């Protein structure tokens, strides 16, 4: 727990971030979790995954832009990604962080940016998934999701099981017809807003999963936790819900064995595939999730 907090604290250090992202070692360190520095590399990975019956959601790394010009650049980059996904007939949605589109600067500007993206995604027959960031953004992100889903019908929004508020949020999203991606939550949050103990987060995850399977729209269960996955499989079998009614989602490079095994068994599986140069915060969250990843990092550093 202490290690998780330390790594998540370091994830917010700008100086360390600049040094790490500029380091020539970066490619070797990140290649397990990041599909590449460019859109072209990410599309090649997405094509290969599709050929293994794995669906994709592409994430262009970046968050907390510091100007609306940067937010506009994110929009342009994602519009291009949508064009190329469609041109290559890749089965992929896109995943975005609202602060990459200016949520931290102007809710209004962010909404206009993401609406332009959603409009294009709908036209090209794909979807936009809104990642959930730290708790200060939850209200604004949910407002955005509800508004855009009503206008464009191609949105899914992440909900974090570690937040006390998430049960209410799930109920409201189900009532509003907004599809949900359920995850445990990856940020450093105070105990005033989030369950500090893993076993409470896991119990809440299953409670919310059951709610979504009863009243949600095409829910996605984003987890690598075999216990969560088995419990969901048992639940859907008992209730006669087929694999078309929901999907499992996992992160590129994590539990590759399990990803392929689930797809082989006929479950719908989508991989979250990140690409781009701004990899530091994403990479640090992955390190924080599993202490063994820090050993992996240190081993690679020593092999230079």
Hey, which bits of 154-268 come out as E strands? 155-160, 180-183, 220-222, 247-251
From CA 63, how far away is CA 182, in angstroms rounded?
Answer: 20
Beta carbon of residue 30, minimum distance to ligand FDA (angstroms, whole number): 13
Beta carbon of residue 44, minimum distance to ligand FDA (angstroms, whole number): 20
Q: Choose which of 101, 137, 152, 187 interacts with ligand FDA (CB under 6 A).
A: 187
x-or-dash pattern for ligand FDA, window 52-91, by CB under 6 A? ----------------------------------------
Beta carbon of residue 84, minimum distance to ligand FDA (angstroms, whole number): 21
**For residues 272 and 45, is the Cβ–Cβ distance under 8 A?**
no
Note whether 290 binds ligand FDA by CB under 6 A.
yes
Query: At 261, which helix (H) or strand (E)?
Result: helix 256-264
Nearest to 132 by CA among 192, 80, 178: 178
Note whether 186 binds ligand FDA by CB under 6 A.
yes
The reply to whether 131 belongs to the active site is yes
Q: Which residues from 212-271 bind ligand FDA, rule CB under 6 A?
A: 222-225, 249-251, 254-255
**For residues 5 and 188, is the Cβ–Cβ distance under 8 A?**
yes
Q: Closest CB to ligand FDA among 18 and 32?
A: 32
Partner residues linked to 221 by β-bridges: 182, 248
Question: Any idea what DSSP says for residue 79?
Answer: H
Nearest to 179 by CA among 143, 145, 202: 145
From CA 253, how far away is CA 282, in angstroms rounded?
Answer: 13
Q: Closest CB to ligand FDA among 121 and 129?
A: 129
Beta carbon of residue 161, minimum distance to ligand FDA (angstroms, whole number): 8
Set 181, 268, 270, 285: catalytic member: 181
Note whether 174 binds ligand FDA by CB under 6 A.
no
Q: How many residues does the chain have?
A: 304
Question: Any idea what DSSP says for residue 163?
Answer: B
Half-sphere exposure of 74 (CA within 13 A, CB side): 31
Q: Closest CB to ligand FDA among 104 and 223?
A: 223
Note whether 209 binds ligand FDA by CB under 6 A.
no
Number of residues engaging ligand FDA in binding (CB under 6 A): 23
Beta carbon of residue 222, minimum distance to ligand FDA (angstroms, whole number): 3
**For residues 277 and 61, is the Cβ–Cβ distance under 8 A?**
yes
Note whether 272 binds ligand FDA by CB under 6 A.
yes
The reply to whether 257 belongs to the active site is no
Neighbours of 117 (CB within 10 A): 22
The residue ranges that bind ligand FDA (CB under 6 A) are: 131-132, 158, 160, 183-187, 222-225, 249-251, 254-255, 272, 286, 289-290, 293
Residues known to be catalytic: 131, 181
């Amino acid at each position: 727990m202490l290690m998780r907090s330390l790594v998540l604290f370091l994830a917010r250090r700008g100086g360390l971030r600049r040094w790490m992202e500029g380091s020539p070692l970066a490619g070797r360190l990140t290649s397990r979790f990041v599909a590449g520095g460019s859109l072209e590399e990410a599309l090649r990975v997405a094509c290969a995954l599709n050929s293994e019956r794995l669906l994709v959601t592409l994430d262009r790394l970046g968050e907390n832009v510091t100007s609306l010009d940067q937010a506009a650049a994110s929009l342009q980059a994602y519009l291009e990604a949508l064009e190329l996904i469609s041109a290559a007939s890749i089965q992929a949605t896109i995943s975005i962080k609202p602060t990459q589109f200016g949520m931290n600067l102007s809710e209004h500007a962010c909404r206009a940016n993401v609406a332009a993206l959603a409009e294009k995604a709908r036209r090209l027959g794909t979807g936009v998934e809104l990642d959930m960031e730290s708790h200060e953004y939850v209200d604004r992100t949910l407002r955005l999701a509800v508004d855009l889903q009503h206008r464009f019908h191609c949105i899914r929004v992440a909900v974090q099981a570690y937040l006390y508020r998430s049960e209410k949020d799930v109920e409201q999203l189900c009532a509003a017809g907004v599809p949900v991606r359920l995850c445990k939550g990856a940020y450093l949050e105070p105990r005033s807003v989030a369950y500090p103990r893993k076993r409470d987060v896991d119990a809440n995850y299953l409670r919310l999963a059951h709610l979504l399977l009863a009243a949600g729209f095409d829910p996605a269960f984003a987890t690598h936790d075999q216990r969560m996955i088995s419990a969901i499989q048992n639940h859907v079998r008992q209730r006669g819900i087929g694999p078309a009614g929901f999907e499992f989602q996992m992160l590129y490079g994590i539990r590759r064995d399990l990803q392929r095994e689930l797809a082989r068994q006929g479950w719908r599986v989508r991989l979250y595939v990140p690409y781009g140069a701004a990899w530091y915060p994403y990479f640090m969250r992955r390190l924080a999730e599993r202490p063994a990843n820090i050993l992996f990092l240190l081993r690679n550093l020593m092999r230079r």
